[in-house]
């Protein structure tokens, strides 16, 4: 039996102590919710409890709060976000979406030491899985940290920049804003570079402006938020672009890209240099992905993904790693 948070082997069907501490402040919260998954008969109830939650793409998001040791749907003062299996028919293998996001987030955290929002799988009353994550912008007393994503920071909205506003700009533009607003910008820039490289090698083609945020910490300083919404999107959208944004302006004009039609080590080294990261640091990050190839395979094989999704995940990962080996 595996913990639905970290995959650790456990004896009982519950979250391990470490995951309980991270997710629920040590409380014994069941892996099974006391209410049904969203469906036609109960959508009114779900809508009533999610009026203030944003909806990104096809993934419906609902707000939860912890009452004692039970999770309940709520409209305000939510502490958690839950994402059921999306119902979109035009994407592939959507039944694996919750585990895809959970697995990718765990790979980021456990293998590559990327700071992520605490997360796990959880099941509805009928056993259907969903993805749950604890909100990092909510303090223990219920108040919120000031948080802004990079669509907000760059003043891009649907009204000003059209339907594709989240996909305007480049990752270098985000990096330059990190230097501007984050006091500890050298560390933040390196962490940002690592996340961009992670998204590329793990085939997350939907890492847009709203998937990166700055948050004001307890010392009143802005810092890069924990990573969130990490998943191998190629499993569900095989024909998508490799990245949601360009690395930097005219990055497609390199000799490597002109020859192979995709990014490789050359473009990411240039990206790191433009972020101001020294060679010994960015090479360490790049080599870390190559050196941990087998560890990623083990996590994928140990996951709850379907065999088809496992195959797609491994194939795409192996292809991306080769571009850096």
CATH of 147-322 given 1.10.1070.20, 2.130.10.10, 1.10.1740.10, 2.60.40.650: 1.10.1070.20
Q: What is the pLDDT of residue 50?
A: 57
| Residue boundaries of the structural domains of the chain | 17-134, 147-322
- pLDDT tens, position by position, 16-49: 999 999 999 999 999 999 998 887 667 676 776 6
- pLDDT tens, position by position, 208-255: 999 999 999 999 999 999 999 999 999 999 989 999 999 999 999 999
Task: Determine the 3-state secondary structure of 176 from DSSP.
Answer: helix
- Segment holding 124, helix H or strand E: none
Q: What is the pLDDT of residue 161?
A: 93
> How many residues are given for the chain?
325
Q: What is the pLDDT of residue 49?
A: 61
Q: Measure the CA–CA gap between 241 and 251, rounded to whole angstroms.
A: 15
Handedness of CA 177, 179, 185, 186 (dihedral sign): positive
Q: Measure the CA–CA gap between 19 and 8, rounded to whole angstroms.
A: 10
- Fold classification of 17-134 is Phosphorylase Kinase; domain 1 (3.30.200)
Q: What is the pLDDT of residue 56?
A: 47
Q: Residue 155's CB: how many other CB atoms inside 10 A?
A: 9
Whether residue 231 contacts residue 97, with contact meaning beta carbons closer than 8 Å, is answered with: yes
pLDDT under 70: residue ranges of the chain:
40-41, 43, 45, 48-58
- Segment holding 186, helix H or strand E: helix 185-201
Q: Residue 69's CB: how many other CB atoms inside 10 A?
A: 11
* Residue whose entry in the numeric block shows the structure tokens 């009982």: 12
């Amino acid at each position: 039996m595996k913990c639905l948070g970290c995959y650790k082997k456990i004896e009982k069907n519950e979250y391990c102590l470490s995951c309980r501490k991270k997710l629920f402040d040590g409380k014994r919260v069941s892996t099974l919710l006391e209410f049904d998954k969203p469906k036609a008969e109960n959508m009114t109830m779900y809508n009533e409890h999610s009026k203030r939650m944003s909806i990104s793409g096809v993934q419906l998001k609902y707000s939860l709060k912890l009452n004692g040791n039970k999770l309940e749907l709520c409209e305000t003062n939510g502490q958690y976000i839950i994402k059921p299996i999306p119902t979109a028919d035009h994407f592939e293998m959507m039944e694996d979406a919750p585990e895809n996001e959970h697995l990718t987030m765990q790979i980021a955290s456990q293998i590559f030491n990327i700071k992520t929002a605490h997360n796990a799988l959880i099941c509805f009353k009928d056993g259907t899985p969903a993805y749950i994550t604890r909100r990092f912008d909510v303090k223990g007393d219920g108040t919120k940290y000031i948080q802004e994503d990079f669509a907000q920071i760059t003043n891009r909205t649907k009204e000003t920049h059209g339907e594709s506003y989240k996909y305007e700009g480049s990752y270098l533009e985000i990096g330059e804003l990190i230097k501007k607003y984050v006091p500890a910008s050298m560390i933040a820039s390196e962490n940002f570079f690592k996340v961009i490289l992670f998204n590329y090698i793990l085939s997350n083609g939907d890492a847009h402006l709203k998937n990166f945020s700055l948050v004001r910490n307890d010392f009143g300083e802005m810092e890069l938020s924990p990573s969130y919404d990490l998943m191998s999107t190629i499993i569900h959208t095989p024909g998508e672009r490799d990245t949601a944004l360009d690395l930097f302006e005219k990055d497609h004009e390199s000799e490597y890209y002109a020859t192979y039609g995709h990014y490789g080590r050359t473009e990411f080294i240039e990206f790191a240099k433009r972020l101001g990261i020294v060679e010994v640091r960015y090479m360490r990050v790049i080599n870390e992905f190559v050196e941990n190839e087998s560890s990623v395979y083990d996590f994928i094989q140990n996951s709850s993904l379907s065999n088809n999704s496992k195959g797609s995940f491994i194939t795409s990962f192996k292809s991306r790693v080769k571009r850096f080996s």
